[in-house]
A and B are shown apart, each in its own frame.
Chain A
């Protein structure tokens, strides 16, 4: 990530090209133009703040429901802990493996990066599979009570993010196979997927804390 932000900063303080060369004869600057720094990671980070606020809204709703709305007789907020704990470990480990992939990529060891990416992708799929197992073993459905609805909304919305993340990792893994697509210096796709994946993991840790442990 550092190489990229350095590049963006160098463009901030002055492009290699004099401005006069970017007049009418040249195309209109786009996000790929030389006059233009690469702010895509910055933009993604801003978007993740927004996405995090969506989760914050869901969390706030869940905590308020839990504080003020009594559940019907016979239902409770208690959940089986084993599977979600394994899931938490899976996701945290996957964050570490993705970090290794990024490190390998920046050190120009693409084959190693690809292996780490495949491990990460596998862990993501394992998380989703294990989530499915949990869904099918739960004694309540989406509309049974307020807790059930909120449970599925929160874990489902997060699961959607994990699914998207797995797809992104798969795409990046494929990109490492085609020559020149991802290099030690030019690997926005990988860095974006990494930032996103860490975000999804962080959200899960909070979700695990307030949904399962609290």
Chain B
């Protein structure tokens, strides 16, 4: 295509076509910052819905009998909880939300590579979410086969709800793929002249790795779900043993997406925490190069470990051996990242504000979830605890203790940039305390329950498990209460909070080198060239090499 000259362009695309003010958040805005906020707010609404569903689960499990909801309703609630939290909260928020807001800043661009595709990707989410949740009110009831939708279970539960579930997940998968394509193009092609790949902030690498996983694995889930819908609607027999089909093939294809999906949820969190720790510890990120290689190693290994979810599915011994070894290997790059974060903190001038509290708690929670993950990769142990609450505990330590804690840390860290106002620290610390205690109270006992044989996804359990389940439910209640200070804080601060200024943390990454909130074009002048995003703690007398370091120092 030819390059239009600017006067022509101004005529054909008048700037006022895009709504201004708060209305733009309800519009098909092409501004990556608006889209990022749309993702965040939309995701948070679904977090509250998914949290309410979790509340139903924990209330039901407070007693051994199915006395709060019926077994069928429990299955629906459980399925919706998993699907909402994964596809409508975690994945859109850590990828679409923070990714859209931050990545163009980090590469020194004024927007994403494909702004229109970006808006399309976001606007697929609300309809898909409403579709999914409204399936609860469907005549034949919502999907009841869990977020995994394993056949033959998903073939025997009410068909209408399952088909709506598939449709909704396909839409969300499409949104995810569009987002991934956009991030890859933005990071590889739209970098500001002079910015090298190894000079990008770590979150760019995390998003690049995540997007590669999205592009390679999500389509396989889409294909699998299309086959599953054929089994339900057209009565083909791909996954139906009664018609000569093969259920294990579904499991392989499903986990080929859904294991990388765990990295799609947690790699961006790794990136975000790598941005937050150096700022609040006033030290350069330790081991930048090893961090980059670790992310890429996790991407490669993440694609070849899926069958560790299937050790009890009649997997042959050679396959068990391979997947055990490959899975254990992932602990190496993950461990490198863990020690790099510790080394970043070591000897730093740590400011223990709300952002840092959540970020540090992430490290604690994540290492615990990581260790139980390595344990689960071992076949003999896995066979013992497969499909028990141990797996539920492990998973929530990774996804809640890992990713959601980082989402909160990021919220406290970047809220001043989003709105120009500082979140209240007292309310923030209260939010942290309630979340941290509630979270550990809720999910730590589940490891004991699992080791003692309590199966997951069942509304009723043996009365000997009652006490630990009640502890877990109290933890869930605390987590629910912890949302209140957060909500008050976010809403009140938007109107009454202290003015943040452009760079309240004295940070060096490019999003802080502009006003808060930033102008439509991100910077009024030229985009700053930040080649040393973590140049904190320069020794006096030694000249910092990057202009941005000079500017802040």
Contacts and interface: CB of A to CB of B under 8 A. Distances in A.
A28 B520 contact: yes
Given A19-B527, A54-B223, A30 B253 contact: no
A129 interface: no
Contact of B244 (A14, A69, A142, A188): A69
Interface residues of A, number: 65
Contacts of B3: 16, 34
Interface string B184-202: 1100111101000000000
A27 B31 CA distance: 11
B306 to A, nearest CB: 12
Contacts of B237: 143, 145-146, 149
Contact of A149 (B177, B218, B223, B236): B236
B234 interface: yes
Interface string A161-200: 0000000000000000000000001101000000000000
A137 B235 CA distance: 22
Interface in B214-247: 215-220, 222-224, 226-227, 230, 234-238, 243-246
Most chain B CB atoms below 10 A, which of A35, A146, A157, A188: A146
A47 to B, nearest CB: 6
B9 A32 contact: yes
Nearest to B216: A53
A39 B115 contact: no
A42 interface: yes
Given A23-B524, A42-B188, 4 more contacts: A29-B521, A46-B184, A49-B215, A54-B222
Nearest to B8: A34
B114 A54 contact: no
Contacts of B252: 60, 64
Most chain A CB atoms below 10 A, which of B10, B236, B245: B236
Contacts of A50: 177, 180-181, 215-216, 218-219
B110 A35 contact: yes
A27 B13 contact: yes
Contact of B114 (A4, A31, A143, A146): A31
B116 A30 contact: yes
23 contacts: A12-B189, A19-B525, A21-B6, A24-B520, A25-B10, A26-B10, A26-B521, A28-B521, A30-B30, A31-B116, A36-B113, A39-B189, A40-B114, A42-B188, A46-B181, A46-B185, A47-B177, A50-B177, A50-B219, A52-B219, A60-B253, A68-B246, A149-B230
A107 B224 CA distance: 44
Contacts of B1: 4, 7, 32, 38, 186, 188
Interface string A47-63: 10111111111101100
Most chain A CB atoms below 10 A, which of B114, B224, B234, B521: B521
Given A31-B114, A47-B181, A57 B6 contact: no
B358 to A, nearest CB: 33
A108 to B, nearest CB: 15
A13 interface: yes
B290 interface: no
Nearest to A59: B223
B441 to A, nearest CB: 41
Contacts of B9: 26-27, 32-34
A17 interface: yes
B519 interface: yes
A87 B216 CA distance: 29
A35 B521 CA distance: 11
Interface string B99-125: 000000000001101111100000000
| For the complex of A and B, 6 pairs with smallest distance between CB atoms | A57-B220, A54-B219, A149-B236, A57-B223, A19-B526, A53-B219
A29 B111 contact: yes
Contacts of A139: none
B368 to A, nearest CB: 33
A73 to B, nearest CB: 11
B14 A27 contact: yes
B216 A43 contact: no
Contacts of A1: none
A51 B223 CA distance: 10
Nearest to A22: B521
Contact of A57 (B10, B193, B224): B224
A95 B111 CA distance: 36
A186 to B, nearest CB: 5
A7 B2 CA distance: 9
A72 interface: yes
Contact of B193 (A14, A69, A71): A14
Nearest to A58: B223
Given A26-B10, A54-B222, A143 B236 contact: yes
A174 B234 CA distance: 38
Contacts of B31: 28
B545 to A, nearest CB: 22
B5 interface: yes
Contact of B235 (A54, A69, A143): A143
Contacts of A153: 226-227, 230, 236, 238
B220 A53 contact: yes
B193 A22 contact: no
Contacts of A69: 244-246
Nearest to A71: B244
B216 A185 contact: no
A52 B17 CA distance: 37
Given A72-B244, A146-B244, A43 B114 contact: yes
A26 B363 CA distance: 44
A150 interface: yes
A55 to B, nearest CB: 8
B177 A65 contact: no
B230 A61 contact: no
A61 to B, nearest CB: 5
Interface string B31-54: 100000000000000000000000
B256 A37 contact: no
B111 A57 contact: no
A49 B180 CA distance: 12
A2 interface: no
Contacts of A185: 2
Nearest to B222: A54
A7 B1 CA distance: 8
Interface string B264-304: 00000000000000000000000000000000000000000
B114 to A, nearest CB: 6
Contacts of A47: 177, 181
Contacts of A26: 6, 9-10, 15, 521
